Amino acid sequence: MNSKVTVSGFAARLQNGECSAAEMLQDVLARIADEAGQGGKVFTRVHAATALASAQASDTLRRAGMARSAIEGLPVSVKDLFDIAGETTLAGSVVLKERPAASADAEVVRRLRAAGAVIVGKTNMTEFAYSGLGINPHYGTPLNPWDRQLGRIPGGSSSGAAVSVADGMAIAGIGSDTGGSVRIPAALCGLAGFKPTARRVSTRGVLPLSTHLDSIGPIAPSVVCCAALDSVLAGADPAQLAPADLRGLRLVVPTTVVLNDMDAHVAQSFARALHKLAAAGAAITEMAVPAFARLASINAKGGFTAAEAWAWHREIIATAADCYDPRVVSRMLRGREMGAADFIDLLGARQAWIAEVAAATAGFDAMLMPTVPLVAPSVAELQASEEEYFRVNGLMLRNTTFINFLDGCALSIPCHDSGTAPVGLTIAAPAMHDARVLSIGLAAEALFPA
């Protein structure tokens, strides 16, 4: 299974009878079980029996001319914080193992099944989704497909989701994105990742990190794949995605914060991406967005994530703090210091900040920025140093976090030269401009055949 083949490409193979969904699944399961591969670290649970039953049912429906959607019969992975009936949702942790099993599938899992997706299993993640690096001390860390010899991070928190796609263990991985957890691993692993406007996709049955910031989106080989999956996740009628006309498109590059501390490869890749877009006719404006410089101070007490994570976890932490990843629980503990008045102030500050960013970027079709400013570092160097772990984590989350706080939508697509370290280009816009972002992404993607 080639991860660069799109949803439509795999669907065409099934439709033409080149293979069956059951045969496709068997190839996926063999990759997961390969001891020389990453399957043991990518998946926390593999649903071989139920997946095979789903694939066989899909084959029967397809033969009868009753394919339910564009993803009929295709293998899809889901992050380990989505409820699946009959299983305890672990969220990449060990502290919930004695909790009751879920009584029903999460809404997004239900929608995937109804569309004919074959749910392969649950993918590994940063514990409770609280890091952009993808390191997990409980279940191991799946390695980035680029430069496995060195052993680089996959990005997080949807680490297993990205590697499942990159290694051909799923056609797409469904993840959550609270501060970049879909887009960061997509960027570091050379894939497309889409964070929709949060309200468009139900979070029912999804273990929360921050209810004010959580959103659900796909990691997949292409923009078209992301759009097909997004329509299923959102319960929307599938629309035929057409590329935007790049000629005259008005794109803004914020120069405040997001261009700081880029390594040389990211800077060069981003500059080349802007050049290609401009050569294709897009009008690109570089402009300061002062509000971006203030977000760190707005979130100085930990923001929504620390406050809401602490509220959800405080009773468990009281008795089982030692069972958490110490680099995760330390961030949750910051929420203890945030009072009700602080939280109310944060709600008001967010609305004012959103209004200011919207006013500053009005008149532009989308924002452009590097998804992350660094190429993937090694797992070993981050495990060895507390200081380096938190420094790199802050940089990885920095740019993507702006869009979650904006309540916006964003797409990361690869923009690096073939054979070089993966780099993501972000195309972002305010809330409910999802279709426009995907359309621009489809046009831009054609310029970067990595």
Cα–Cα nearest to 231, from 266, 255, 196, 278: 196
On whether the CB atoms of residues 175 and 161 are closer than 8 A, the answer is: yes
Residue 14 is predicted with a pLDDT of 95
Can you tell me which residue has the tokens 């399957």?
Answer: 39
Q: Is residue 310 part of a domain?
A: no
The Cα–Cα gap between 308 and 334 comes to 10
Of the listed 93, 176, 181, 412, which one is catalytic? 181
At 195-252, the pLDDT tens digits run 999 999 999 999 999 999 999 999 999 999 999 999 999 999 887 899 999 999 999 9
Residue 239 is predicted with a pLDDT of 76
| 118-123/192-195 β-pairing | unpaired
Which one-letter amino acid corresponds to residue 279? Answer: A
Q: What's the sign of the alpha-carbon dihedral 66, 68, 73, 74?
A: positive
Residues in the chain, total: 450
Cα–Cα nearest to 161, from 130, 129, 137: 129
Of the listed 79, 93, 122, 231, which one is catalytic? 79
Of the listed 3, 131, 157, 439, which one is catalytic? 157
Say whether 157 is catalytic.
Answer: yes
Q: Is residue 314 part of a domain?
A: no
Q: Is residue 429 part of a domain?
A: yes
Say whether 58 is catalytic.
Answer: no
Global confidence as pTM: 0.98
Low-confidence ranges of the chain (pLDDT < 70): 1-3, 450
Can you tell me which residue has the tokens 């410089």?
Answer: 293
Can you give the CATH number for the domain in which 246 is found? 3.90.1300.10
Q: Is residue 328 part of a domain?
A: no
Cα–Cα nearest to 179, from 133, 219, 148: 133
Q: Is residue 332 part of a domain?
A: no
Residue 238 is predicted with a pLDDT of 81
Q: Is residue 348 part of a domain?
A: no
Residue 450 is predicted with a pLDDT of 66
Q: Is residue 110 part of a domain?
A: yes
Residue 231: domain span:
1-289+355-450
> Could you check whether the bond before residue 93 is cis, i.e. omega within 30 degrees of 0?
no
Q: Give the CB-side neighbour count of residue 249, counting CA atoms within 13 A.
A: 27
**How many structural domains does the chain have?**
1
On whether the CB atoms of residues 436 and 381 are closer than 8 A, the answer is: no
The Cα–Cα gap between 427 and 365 comes to 10
Q: How many CB atoms lie within 10 A of CB 190?
A: 25
Q: How far is CA 104 from CA 100, 108, 173, 176, 280, in A?
A: 12, 11, 20, 19, 48
Say whether 77 is catalytic.
Answer: no
Q: How many CB atoms lie within 10 A of CB 18?
A: 11
Q: Is residue 324 part of a domain?
A: no
